[in-house]
Chain A
Amino acid sequence: MKFAVLVFPGSNCDLDMYHAIKDELGEEAEYVWHDTKDLSGYDGILLPGGFSYGDYLRCGAIAQFSNVMNEVKKAADAGKPVLGICNGFQILTEAGLLPGALIRNKNLKFMCRTIELTVENNNTLFTSDYAKGQVINIPVAHGEGNYTCDAETLASLKANNQIVFTYTNDNPNGSVEDIAGIINERGNVLGMMPHPERAVHELIGGTDGLALFKSIVKQWRESHVSHA
């Protein structure tokens, strides 16, 4: 399976993402610059964390108009897996690929530590290798991860099981309903504030993030074998 790791000016988790795919997962990964106008050669699209365009105006606001984002929309429409982590999540909400928005952490601090997440929905292509209700340890590192949306959106997120990850006991940012990650209605676009790509090796503090990437690859293999 071949992944595109998008690189915006100011991305800084692109290397971690590339490493996770290439070295820990053993799949193909390529860095793709933000002005690229073709993503058709990739099976999965990864939007890494960082501070694209310096977080000017709002986090993700300027990146949403990069050339590559039209291609990300096409990939999402085609049903390819699209994963946005941290700043990538912010870009996906700004681009309208995921509902709601991410605002300043309630306590105004940049939160950087490993935290417990609960897998609320393991019936997605990103989480099938986890158990429902499983608690995993994944690092967070953000100043604007406070997920917010209107009551109507929240009700539909719940009704459609679109809340995939929540903070187990310790919500670092004040997000509504302790939301840490959500998926689109179709189930192929996931955004999350925590960094699974930083939890893929015992040497860097755990491997609980690996199952997320394995889930994507497993689903892709299964669908491509059955269609062959």
Chain B
Amino acid sequence: MKKVKIYVTLRESVLDPQGSAVMGALHTMGYDEVADVRIGKYLELQVDDSERELDVIVREMCEKLLTNTVIEDYRYDVEEAVSK
């Protein structure tokens, strides 16, 4: 079994209203160093080993459902899942 960690962010070209609001708050708090804030999503999938190639199915799942490629980018890492 593998653990797939997927990170989803709004594309650079898409305005992130949440990120802008949070950056405003950080500036109000005095963290003037913050130049940009982008808010995304983190998904963790436990995936059983199968005949299908993991990279292929992860990309399929990301592009069909988990992200909307019109507005979002994604990347992912794969780890061996530790059985509990």
Q: Which partner residue on chain B sits nearest A144 by CB separation?
A: B17
A31 interface residue per 8 A CB criterion: no
User: Closest residue of chain A to B66, judged by CB?
Assistant: A57
Interface flag for A108 (CB, 8 Å): yes
Contact partner, B17, options A99, A101, A108, Cβ 8 Å? A108
* Residue contact A101 to B18, C-beta cutoff 8 Å: no
Residue of A nearest to B14 (CB): A148
Tell which of B21, B65, B70 touches A57, judged by Cβ atoms closer than 8 Å: B65
Q: What is the size, in residues, of chain A's interface with B at 8 Å between Cβ atoms?
A: 21
Contacts of B68 in A (CB 8 A): 58, 61, 94, 101
The answer for the CA separation of A146 and B10 in the assembled complex, in Å, is 14
Chain B residues with CB under 8 A of A99: 70
Q: Which of A117-169 contact B (CB under 8 A)?
A: 146, 148-150
| 30 examples of A-B residue contacts, CB within 8 angstroms | A57-B65, A57-B66, A61-B68, A62-B65, A65-B65, A93-B70, A100-B70, A101-B68, A101-B70, A103-B10, A103-B14, A103-B15, A103-B17, A103-B71, A104-B17, A105-B17, A106-B15, A106-B17, A107-B17, A108-B17, A108-B21, A146-B17, A148-B14, A148-B15, A148-B70, A148-B71, A149-B70, A150-B13, A174-B15, A174-B17
Counting from the closest, the 4 A-B pairs by CB-CB distance are A101-B70, A101-B71, A104-B17, A106-B17
